[in-house]
């Protein structure tokens, strides 16, 4: 039924990790997860954050940091170079760590709509407020991501590559709640068809694209229309009113990456309790239990940058253990 690039009962992380040592984070994900990924360490500062890291991939659209945040600039400067250097060092370490690896491997980038709502134009307005600027950003990101994907494939030739596009800002873009640069107004809402079209341009450069959205009101139909092969979200934010769209996604063969473990330090739930949201969702929607472990991957609820290193590792291990429960006993509670 499924042509997903991972085995049944799989688990992975969302992306970010605590600390500043990428080798430690890489060792954790390769040692503990059936689906490792390239960790992001925003604690290193400017350029290691979600926006700066992805902006370093943009083609012919350099950025810099202003007091208000990231802004497009006339030429690459110190901030752009710092972001690029972080990523290149991480890729060098990945190449060293992944020698001989074969199997699913995930990379993450910020999505075009979240970027457009976060990066300012040279004159200070949000990119999102200018349709032409959004188009240029989308094309630049698609070209930069294609080159990034090719680089990762070269460095990890045994990888079955999954590209995760992070769009926490997309619900606000669709609802018209993104503030203008001044903060006194709101940027007009983007139509769902336009949002899907622009996002689809970026997703099309990946063989297996998934979209992560850890905000409320995940736009499932927009993500599917855009071409997402998988949708990653926090089950704690899921509403019963979402379940019709989730059911349609499952029927269509879309993978679900379900956030089931808190992303910050807390007492971890028991393994069966971690698996329970996935089991109950499947049961409520009336799908066969034996399909659950094929179509669902378990993850923390969001990134782990706000957790302690010990908790981050324990959370990933708990996701792996709970995913095994789904495979071995799909009726487990």
Cα–Cα distance for residue pair 231/219, rounded to 1 Å? 10
Distance CA 53, CA 41 (A): 10
Position 181 scores a pLDDT of: 84
Closest CA to 331 of 267, 271, 288, 270: 288
- What pLDDT is recorded for position 333? 44
Own/partner pairs for 65-69, CB < 8 Å, 24+ apart? 66/120, 68/120, 68/124, 68/181, 69/118, 69/119, 69/120
pLDDT of amino acid 1? 42
**45-228 has which CATH code?**
3.20.20.210
pLDDT 10s digit of each residue in the chain, 333 long? 458 999 999 999 999 999 999 999 999 999 999 999 999 999 999 999 999 999 999 999 999 999 989 999 999 999 999 999 999 999 999 999 999 999 999 999 999 999 999 999 998 899 999 999 999 999 999 999 999 999 999 999 999 999 999 999 999 999 999 999 888 899 999 999 999 999 999 999 999 999 999 999 999 999 999 999 999 999 999 998 899 999 999 999 999 999 999 999 999 999 999 999 999 999 999 999 999 999 999 999 999 999 999 999 999 999 999 999 998 754 544
Rg of the chain over Cα atoms, rounded to whole angstroms, equals: 19
Q: What angle do CA 139, 145, 150 make, to 5 degrees?
A: 135
pTM score, whole prediction: 0.96
According to the model, what pLDDT value does residue 322 have?
97
Gap between the Cα atoms of 295 and 232, Å rounded: 12
| Structural domain spans, the chain | 45-228
Q: What are phi and psi of 16, to 5 degrees?
A: -80, 150
Contact criterion met (CB below 8 Å) for 79 and 9: no
User: DSSP readout, 69-92?
Assistant: EEEE-SS--HHHHHHHHHHHHHHH
Q: Is the dihedral of CA 277, 227, 327, 329 positive or negative?
A: positive
10: enclosing H helix or E strand: strand 10-11
How far is it, in rounded angstroms, from Cα 103 to Cα 275? Answer: 24
């Amino acid at each position: 039924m499924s042509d997903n690039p991972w085995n049944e009962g799989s688990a992975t992380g969302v992306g970010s990790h605590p600390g500043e040592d990428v080798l430690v984070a890489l060792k954790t994900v390769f040692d503990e997860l059936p689906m490792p990924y390239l960790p992001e360490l925003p604690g290193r500062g400017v350029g290691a954050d979600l926006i700066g890291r992805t902006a370093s991939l943009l083609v012919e659209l350099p950025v810099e940091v202003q007091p208000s945040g990231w802004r497009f600039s006339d030429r690459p400067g110190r901030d752009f170079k710092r972001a690029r250097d972080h990523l290149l060092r991480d890729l060098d370490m990945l190449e060293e760590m992944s020698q001989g690896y074969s199997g699913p491997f995930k990379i993450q980038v910020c999505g075009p709509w979240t970027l457009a709502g976060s990066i300012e134009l040279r004159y200070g307005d949000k990119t999102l407020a200018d349709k032409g600027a959004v188009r240029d950003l989308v094309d630049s990101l698609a070209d930069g991501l294609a080159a990034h994907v090719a680089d990762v494939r070269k460095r990890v030739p045994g990888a079955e590559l999954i590209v995760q596009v992070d769009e926490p800002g997309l619900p606000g873009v669709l609802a018209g709640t993104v503030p203008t640069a001044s903060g006194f107004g709101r940027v007009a809402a983007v139509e769902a068809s336009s949002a899907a079209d622009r996002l689809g341009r970026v997703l099309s450069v990946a063989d297996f694209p998934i979209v992560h959205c850890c905000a409320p009101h995940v736009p499932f139909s927009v993500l599917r229309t855009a071409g997402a092969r998988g949708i990653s979200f926090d089950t704690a934010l899921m509403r019963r009113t979402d379940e019709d769209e989730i059911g349609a996604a499952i029927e269509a063969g879309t993978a679900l990456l379900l956030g089931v473990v808190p992303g910050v330090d807390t007492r971890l739930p028991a393994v069966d309790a971690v698996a329970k949201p996935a089991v109950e969702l499947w049961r409520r929607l009336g799908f066969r239990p034996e399909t659950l472990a094929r179509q669902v991957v378990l993850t923390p609820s969001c990134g782990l940058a706000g957790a302690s290193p010990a908790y981050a590792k324990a959370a990933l291990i708990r996701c792996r253990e709970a995913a095994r429960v789904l495979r071995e006993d799909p009726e487990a509670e």
